[in-house]
Amino acid sequence: MVALSGLIYLPLPVLAALGLAMIAAHNLADGVRLDRFANEDGSLSAIGWLVSALHVPHRPISYPLIPWLGVMMVGYAFGPIAQMQEKSRLRVTMATGFALLGAFLAAVIAQHGHV
């Protein structure tokens, strides 16, 4: 939330795009392991702590910034949509929901060859 407090000054489309990119791409770093950044005594190096803060949960960091910061950014950018008149809001949320569902199914099919 502290990071989001500085990001809210970005234009909403930029904030939404960055948030969506963080959510969509965060699994690309799943191969990164903290043991690569351990010191000889087993403690994390400075880069290890940064990796932990950004992506890999490790005590005391339970919720890394990526993708949670992206989720907060998208949620914040959704605010004006939530304030639309009911008919417009329903049209936008339904279109967005179906587009995201289609993207998810396309990703599953691309990865596995079938649903």
pLDDT, one tens digit per residue, over 16-25 is 999 999 888 8
Q: Grade residue 64 by pLDDT with cuts at 50, 70 and 90.
A: confident
> Mean of the pLDDT values across residues 83-111?
94
CA distances from 90 to 45, 48, 93, 94, 99 (A): 49, 44, 5, 6, 14
Tokens of 27: 């699994």
Q: Given this model, what pLDDT does residue 49 score?
A: 87
Q: Grade residue 97 by pLDDT with cuts at 50, 70 and 90.
A: very high
Q: How many residues does the chain have?
A: 115
Q: For residue 44, what are the β-bridge partners?
A: 38
Q: Structure pTM?
A: 0.74
Phi, psi of 100 (to 5 degrees): -65, -40
Task: List, for residues 18-61, the tens digit of each pLDDT value.
Answer: 999 988 888 888 888 888 888 888 888 888 888 888 888 777 77
Give every CB contact of residue 15 below 8 A, 6+ residues apart in sequence: 7, 8, 73, 76, 77
Q: Grade residue 102 by pLDDT with cuts at 50, 70 and 90.
A: very high
The chain-wide mean pLDDT, for the chain, equals 89
CA distances from 16 to 19, 75, 83, 89, 98 (A): 5, 8, 16, 17, 18
